[in-house]
Structure 1
Amino acid sequence: MSSSLALSAAPSPSPTIIERPLSPLEEEILRDESRFETYGGDDPEDPPPKSHSPRSPHAEHADSPLDPNLVAWDGPDDPENPQNWSYGYKWWVTVVCSIMTINVTFASSAPSSATLYIAADLHTSAEVSYLVTSIFLVGYVFGPMFWGPGSELVGRRPIFVLTLTLYTLFHIGQALAHNMQTLLITRFFSGFFACAPLTNSGGVIADIWDPINRGVATSIFATTVFLGPTLGPVVGSFITVSSLGWRWVFWVMMIFAGSCSIFAILFLPETYAPKILETKAKRMRKQDPVANKEIYAESERVEWSTSELLNRTILRPFKMLFVEPILLLVTIYLSVVYGVIYALFEAFPVIFIRIHGLSVSHDGLIFLGVGIGSAIGTCVNIWLLRPYPRLMREWRGFPPAEYRLYGAMIAGPSLVVGIFWLGWTGAYASVPWYVPAISTVLIGMSIALVFMSFLSYLVDTYLMYSASAFSANTIVRSAVGAAFPLFTVQMFENLGVQWAATLIGGVGLLLAPMPFLFFKYGARIRGNSQFAPCIDLKIAKMLEAEKAAAEKKGEV
């Protein structure tokens, strides 16, 4: 995720308009808010980039907001500001991002049904063929280090154009590969470029949506993150067993990727505010080179040093991972859940083909249950967001992050139930196949709710540092997801389906209390954090002071 999540994660709440003198606490809150408009919300150990702004004779500080040469929005209703785009256009952009995400996640799982056919044709072992899925996710590990920060340097749109084009072209190597080495190398680079929509689409949504409406948009977008992987095996299985063969899985993936890429390139606008203002400054200088020669945008005067870029892309995410208990525990939980998603790709054939005798194509259809469950999870999450407009008013725009955890409270126990249900009914051929298949709906709903809830929790907890939090989470999560398919089949064969599911469900059971504990102790943990702004805690103090002052005034 890009750090622009922070940019629009902090709207101007009602306390910013105060007619009386500001108290020290209110001044501190406003200082925290102003940091959301910086490039990444740099901490004291990571100074902001150097800005070489030309000195203006009309301003004491040329690089301050009072500098008349510094390009800004033309008032709060500037139509160029993505936050002011029409409701319909915002949804159009969200749909474009969702289509891109469906496509790249579809590519992660579509070949999973063809792995044994690939192994036979390319004369490799079944264990090596499992790398076809894993190596794609390894690309997800490295990609976020480049595409998130890159979108802040050159803008969202150029990154999308570059990555989608190369991602599409690398499908040629996969479709024409005559040895496993070529297939795996091209799969890695395909995943490396494919992760850009996953890491940057969240930033696009944050660029254009206000916090109240962003919850619904994020929920729908998150559904596409799970919809793609569930559709992949369905389509891949039917193509594999048809007369076309496994190579056409990759040709179809390329056609799908090319179509979605052209659609995104044609219809996805630039949404990153600093780059839009930079374009505006260039346009103004071109319109009147003499009068506007001193006009500039802040991004044109920013110079990132190598150490600053290294800190933002690699060092800070891992530093946060080691010093932030909330980020560490959430990352562990989401990594396990993410691993379960990709473990299903290898576990389902064991359960439904070997034990229940379904065909490869019918086994692929089982994944539709996960997709249906994800859609149900989205509806549940949207329903849970109903009180949020009221909470925004009550908390002056910054309600406690723990209010985002209700979905995870539901999903934690239900995920454990779903996994046990799948394992202990799927292990026996005497149990009809549809009994374990129904459990996939509950699993899909739980996975979607866990992700929506915890990712929203990270955004509201770290605000201007959410980009670094997401980078750390994505890197670790993708590494775990890549590892799960490598041992899933062996685990289910050696332990038995019921006991392998019990092992995974047991881990889920250990993690299930986490959202409840965070709901009770999260504010205290955030209060001792190096990176969590905790504006809600400061607002709570301010509200208590206002209440005490009102009571004292009433007594007088």
Structure 2
Amino acid sequence: MSGSVSPRSSTSTICDPSMRIPIPQLEAELRREELRAEEYGGDDPVDPPPKEGGNIPIPAAVKEKQADPNKVTWDGPDDPENPQNWSRSRKWFITVLCLLMTVNVTFASSAPSAAGLYIAAEFHASTEMAYLVTSVFLCGYIVGPILWGPGSELFGRRIVFRVTLIAYVLLHLGQALAHNLTTLLVTRFLTGVFACAPLTNCGGVLVDIWDPITRGTATALFSAGIFVGPVLGPIVGGFLTMSFLGWRWVFWIMMIFAGTCTVLALILLPETYAPVLLQWKAQRLRKAEPKLNADVYAEHERSDWSFKGLVHRTLYRPIQMLLLEPILILVTIYLSLVYGILYALFEALPVIFVGTRGFNIGQSGLIFIGVGIGTTIGAYMTIPLSKHYPQLIVKWRGFPPPEERLLGAMIGAPALVIGCFWLGWTGHVALVFNSFLAYLIDTYLQYSASAFSANTMVRSCVGAAFPLFTVQMFNRLGINWACTLIGCCALLLAPSPFLFYKYGTWIRSKSKFSPCLDLVIAKEIAAAEAAAAAKGEEKV
């Protein structure tokens, strides 16, 4: 038999075993991914393992740790209760719903930016206070992820979505009916706190329901929503502000949009988090047969539910990951810059086109159509860049290295630099976001919600700060040199995806939170080949 372990993953160092995916979940995941890989075809370099009764053998590392017979797991790899086994139409519906929620909350972040000067004038506030309408909302993005990402890993995705979205809708009333700027800004901040739940949790939902092959396309749609929403905001907000309706109708439209998304989520969004679903299954079994199933339990129920344990898993984990995970730290720094550039555009483009081209506020909003087209193209490019994934699924027995998600960022990073200089002297940000968000999902899997929480907190800090100084920077430095400064910052971080692609495997091997499933598979194959070589047999 031909084939061997890829040189990039030949290391024998495996992540901390205590932090890996629970064995039953890994077993089901591995079997499911190999079955799906065969559906996509491709030459298996290690030959398909023999099938016995439809089951595919699992790695020795899994076999060594057989599940407790009282522990509730899925009823085989085809259990219909497992979200990974739901129909493709249902999965795509959930993905589109996540996309819609993401577009909605990011739309709310930028829609009032065009009305900032009108709001400041009505409340007799300074111009600088007008910029806070956008920034204070993003400050809410800093607080919310600490609660909603890890909270969804404790109580499930659905309950977090329901609580946060209802609060998010109601808080629009405080903005639309505000009689002073303080009320507006306080409710705007609280709206941001609850609005960030889709940004932190939708990535976890995609991990819950999608296999690695389709997950890339689903993640591309999700990350496109992060840009489509902010782009639509100034367009709609600009024309509403200049119309007879006035700036308050910007918030009424936001509330109508938010209410529609919330009703859809309340009715149609199911629970997708496997540990919680297994907990519900254990509870049903105990209730149905109290004596027979008295000792039945789900692993999630054995977690530490004390106050200290809850604080550790909600407030402490994202911060711990941000401080200890080099991949998360570096990706977050880069995406924060990209996010800051996006929100800087909301203030910079009016300076460029209103101040120098004579556009009115409504017309200047139309400039963001170009940003929307660019981000849409960037999201679409992720799909052809992932065409090699079915072959990788087969080669890596279901778990390719997350670094294979970085191809788009290798194109987007240089393009972002070119775009910054081009804008200044006469972006391309979606590819960078798509690739790195997919990279974080594949790297941290069951901890992706916590990783997204940490990432969202930091990039929201930067996104909130950029509008506060962008106008002053462009006025002082001029359009040319202000864009040059931003371009130089992007240039400094542009090598990031290339460095991760080369050294990411080694960095992940030191992680306490990355399951490193590709390294587990690599070690098993290497051990099998070594055993075969010792017996004088061919490689397996």
Residue 5 of structure 1 contacts residue 466 of structure 1 at CA under 8 Å; is this kept in 2? Answer: no
Which residue of structure 2 aligns with residue 498 of structure 1?
A: 480
Task: Give unmatched runs, 5+ long, in structure 1.
Answer: 20-24, 35-60, 426-442
CA distance, structure 1, for counterparts of residue 300 and residue 146 of structure 2: 21
CA distance, structure 1, for counterparts of residue 388 and residue 293 of structure 2: 48
- CA gap of 1:152–1:524, structure 2 versus 1, over 3 A, is closer
Secondary structure in structure 1 of the residue aligned to 2:354: helix
Which residue of structure 1 aligns with residue 507 of structure 2?
A: 525
Which residue of structure 1 aligns with residue 431 of structure 2?
A: 449
Which residue of structure 2 aligns with residue 200 of structure 1?
A: 201
Amino acid at match of 1:109: S
- CA gap of 1:394–1:324, structure 2 versus 1, over 3 A, is same
CA distance, structure 2, for counterparts of residue 447 and residue 481 of structure 1: 14
Residue 379 of structure 2 contacts residue 431 of structure 2 at CA under 8 Å; is this kept in 1? Answer: yes
Which residue of structure 1 aligns with residue 490 of structure 2?
A: 508
Which residue of structure 1 aligns with residue 68 of structure 2?
A: 65
Secondary structure in structure 1 of the residue aligned to 2:81: coil
Residue 5 of structure 1 contacts residue 202 of structure 1 at CA under 8 Å; is this kept in 2? Answer: no
- CA gap of 1:9–1:163, structure 2 versus 1, over 3 A, is farther
Amino acid at match of 2:68: P
Secondary structure in structure 2 of the residue aligned to 1:79: coil
Which residue of structure 1 aligns with residue 218 of structure 2?
A: 217
Amino acid at match of 1:235: V
Residue 5 of structure 1 contacts residue 459 of structure 1 at CA under 8 Å; is this kept in 2? Answer: no
Residue 168 of structure 1 contacts residue 254 of structure 1 at CA under 8 Å; is this kept in 2? Answer: yes
Moved more, 166-175 or 373-382: 373-382
Which residue of structure 1 aligns with residue 331 of structure 2?
A: 330
Which residue of structure 1 aligns with residue 181 of structure 2?
A: 180
Which residue of structure 1 aligns with residue 37 of structure 2?
A: none
TM-score normalised by length of structure 1: 0.83
Cα deviation, 1:307-329, whole Å, max 9, x if unaligned, reads 33333333333333333332222
- CA gap of 1:29–1:518, structure 2 versus 1, over 3 A, is farther
CA distance, structure 1, for counterparts of residue 274 and residue 323 of structure 2: 31
Which residue of structure 2 aligns with residue 383 of structure 1?
A: 384
Secondary structure in structure 1 of the residue aligned to 2:471: helix
CA distance, structure 2, for counterparts of residue 121 and residue 30 of structure 1: 69
- CA gap of 1:295–1:395, structure 2 versus 1, over 3 A, is closer
CA distance, structure 1, for counterparts of residue 82 and residue 399 of structure 2: 22
Cα deviation, 1:438-470, whole Å, max 9, x if unaligned, reads xxxxx1xx3111111112222333344434332
CA distance, structure 2, for counterparts of residue 405 and residue 481 of structure 1: 23
Amino acid at match of 1:473: N
Which residue of structure 2 aligns with residue 57 of structure 1?
A: none
Cα deviation, 1:20-40, whole Å, max 9, x if unaligned, reads xxxxx9544777xx8xxxxxx
Which residue of structure 2 aligns with residue 419 of structure 1?
A: 420
CA distance, structure 1, for counterparts of residue 74 and residue 517 of structure 2: 26
Q: State the shift of 1:150 in Å.
A: 1.9
- CA gap of 1:325–1:112, structure 2 versus 1, over 3 A, is same
- CA gap of 1:298–1:329, structure 2 versus 1, over 3 A, is closer
Spell out the pairing of 1:42-81 with structure 2 (5 A cutoff).
65-67=68-70, 70-81=71-82
Task: Give unmatched runs, 5+ long, in structure 2.
Answer: 1-18, 35-45, 52-57
Cα deviation, 1:93-112, whole Å, max 9, x if unaligned, reads 11111111111111000000
TM-score normalised by length of structure 2: 0.85
Residue 6 of structure 1 contacts residue 465 of structure 1 at CA under 8 Å; is this kept in 2? Answer: no
CA distance, structure 1, for counterparts of residue 266 and residue 129 of structure 2: 36
Amino acid at match of 2:433: F
Residue 212 of structure 1 contacts residue 388 of structure 1 at CA under 8 Å; is this kept in 2? Answer: yes
Identity %: 60
**Residue 12 of structure 1 is aligned with which of 21, 24, 30?**
30
Residue 176 of structure 2 contacts residue 251 of structure 2 at CA under 8 Å; is this kept in 1? Answer: yes
Residue 119 of structure 1 contacts residue 125 of structure 1 at CA under 8 Å; is this kept in 2? Answer: yes
Which residue of structure 1 aligns with residue 16 of structure 2?
A: none
Which residue of structure 1 aligns with residue 450 of structure 2?
A: 468
Residue 149 of structure 2 contacts residue 201 of structure 2 at CA under 8 Å; is this kept in 1? Answer: yes
CA distance, structure 1, for counterparts of residue 445 and residue 154 of structure 2: 20
- CA gap of 1:387–1:348, structure 2 versus 1, over 3 A, is same
Q: State the shift of 1:176 in Å.
A: 0.9
CA distance, structure 2, for counterparts of residue 516 and residue 295 of structure 1: 48
Q: State the shift of 1:410 in Å.
A: 0.2
Amino acid at match of 1:312: R
CA distance, structure 1, for counterparts of residue 431 and residue 164 of structure 2: 29
Which residue of structure 1 aligns with residue 268 of structure 2?
A: 267
Which residue of structure 2 aligns with residue 436 of structure 1?
A: none
CA distance, structure 1, for counterparts of residue 521 and residue 291 of structure 2: 48
Q: State the shift of 1:5 in Å.
A: 12
Give the structure, 1 or 2, with the largest relative contact order (CA under 8 Å, sep 6 or more).
Answer: 2
Spell out the pairing of 1:402-413 with structure 2 (5 A cutoff).
402-413=403-414
Which residue of structure 1 aligns with residue 375 of structure 2?
A: 374
Q: State the shift of 1:200 in Å.
A: 1.0
CA distance, structure 1, for counterparts of residue 167 and residue 188 of structure 2: 12
Spell out the pairing of 1:295-374 with structure 2 (5 A cutoff).
295-374=296-375
- CA gap of 1:115–1:529, structure 2 versus 1, over 3 A, is same
Which residue of structure 1 aligns with residue 41 of structure 2?
A: none
